[in-house]
Amino acid sequence: MKANANPKANHQILILTYGIVLLFIGLVVYYGYFLQVKSDSVINNSYNARLDSFADRVVRGEIRSSNGQVLARTDVDGEGHETRVYPFDSMFAHAVGYSVNGKTGLEAQSNFYLLTSHVNIIEQVINELSSKKNQGDNVVTTLDVDLQKKAYEALGKRNGAVVVMEPDTGKILAMVSKPDYNPNTILSDWNSLVAEENTSGQLLNRSTQGLYPPGSTFKIVTALEYIRENPENYKDYVFDCDGIYENGDYSIKCYHETAHGHQNFTQAFANSCNGAFSNLGLMMDLNGLKNTSEQLLFNTDLSLPFPSNRSSYIMAQGADTWQILQTAIGQGQTQITPLHNAMITAAIANGGTLMKPYLIDHVENAGGDIIKKFVPQAYGNIMTAEESAKMTELMQAVITEGTGSALRTDAYTVAGKTGSAEFDKNKETHAWFVGYAPAEHPKIAVSVIVEEGGSGGKTAAPIARSLFDLYFSR
């Protein structure tokens, strides 16, 4: 047969062979990376039916508070029958969730860890030989029982939500949503909870998924945009308030038509003067306001390890006057979740850097050895340090000379903003408070909403006060 027409053929075959080998190495490395790093987050998915079969060989682990108190555990009786027990009844209902008829909350988020056992190999063998199940790993959360209890009791019978966060880590210390349910009796209550005539929505976690008009807490965003547009002379702004601001056919009322009189920028913010902020809205670049909102994560999936709704902000260039007047004071079509409001507040407290909120501190095996540790992660800078300092100054004035008087104390300094969000002409407003303390070196940030609670300063601020008091008394 003919000799080779291409004298370099073997050399070139070698090169292509190397190419293919390289491709395979890439595949192997990717595969290893997937198994070692990515698989945990991938497989913990409600569509992965495999996890349920883990329960055949593992007793579901415990969910614990940050100091080790049991929030959920599985009791096994003599016949091997398992019951999930929640010692705090409904206090942690939404944060911890339930694990019958589907899973929610931490029961869903940490399902994989709870059903994976890392007990030592000798114990595994002994369990195997005595045909006992292995004990699943325990999930230790960031939740603080005292703060949760305080928030839970402070909300009382009213509907609403409370989120408490550490601004510099993103740890969620408390997460309360009302109305609630008792996870211990959820199976027997199920039908009434999901009944069509039941409109109270006990199963919904309002703190992460409830969408509310932000009301005057949105003035944080409006103020920030105004500061961005006028960084040097924003404080020169003045407004004369007679309780009702009229613009053409439209009029914007301050809360209870209170006439604030002559207001500078800081006073307008501290007193939550609707007239002044509506007026500011008309003066500003609407696309700029939209951009600032989106930088603060409106219209953005928060992409957290637990479900959350995205807050929405709609207005842009070309909006009509009424819409501008409304949107600038947090009414109109804008909607926000209590968690998102807590995140914005925490970012201001943390010099503009938003830390990702998280609920699981670490996973440990039944013997207490740490299996996996979660560390704080930055979401990014949503404003500059300078801007956050300016916002802190404004928000401190809210407490010292404005609507946040409920938080005036010598024990610590607070920066915050109240809100009374109108949602139905015939009903009381939703009461909001967001804030953090101490203002100089923030340790905790809170977001409180009380549905139909009336004035934020009168209803929501005292709840924040009780949380701060508790936190700083320890």
Which residues of the shown chain bind other proteins in the complex (CB under 8 A)? 1-10, 12-14, 16-17, 20-21, 23-24, 26-28, 30-32, 34-36, 38-40, 42-43, 45, 47-51, 53, 125, 128-129
Using the minimum distance from each CB to other proteins, give the nearer residue, 44 or 295: 44
Q: Minimum CB separation from other proteins for residue 210, in Å?
A: 24
Using the minimum distance from each CB to other proteins, give the nearer residue, 3 or 375: 3
Q: Minimum CB separation from other proteins for residue 47, in Å?
A: 5
Q: Minimum CB separation from other proteins for residue 57, in Å?
A: 8
Q: At what angle do helices 219-229 and 286-295 cross, to 10 degrees?
A: 120
Q: Minimum CB separation from other proteins for residue 59, in Å?
A: 16
| Structure token pair of residue 233 | 């002379």
Using the minimum distance from each CB to other proteins, give the nearer residue, 6 or 233: 6
Using the minimum distance from each CB to other proteins, give the nearer residue, 22 or 370: 22
Q: Minimum CB separation from other proteins for residue 108, in Å?
A: 15
Q: Minimum CB separation from other proteins for residue 30, in Å?
A: 5
Using the minimum distance from each CB to other proteins, give the nearer residue, 31 or 87: 31
Tally the C-alpha atoms within 13 A of residue 283's C-alpha that lie toward its C-beta.
18
Q: Minimum CB separation from other proteins for residue 284, in Å?
A: 36
Using the minimum distance from each CB to other proteins, give the nearer residue, 136 or 214: 136
Using the minimum distance from each CB to other proteins, give the nearer residue, 363 or 460: 363
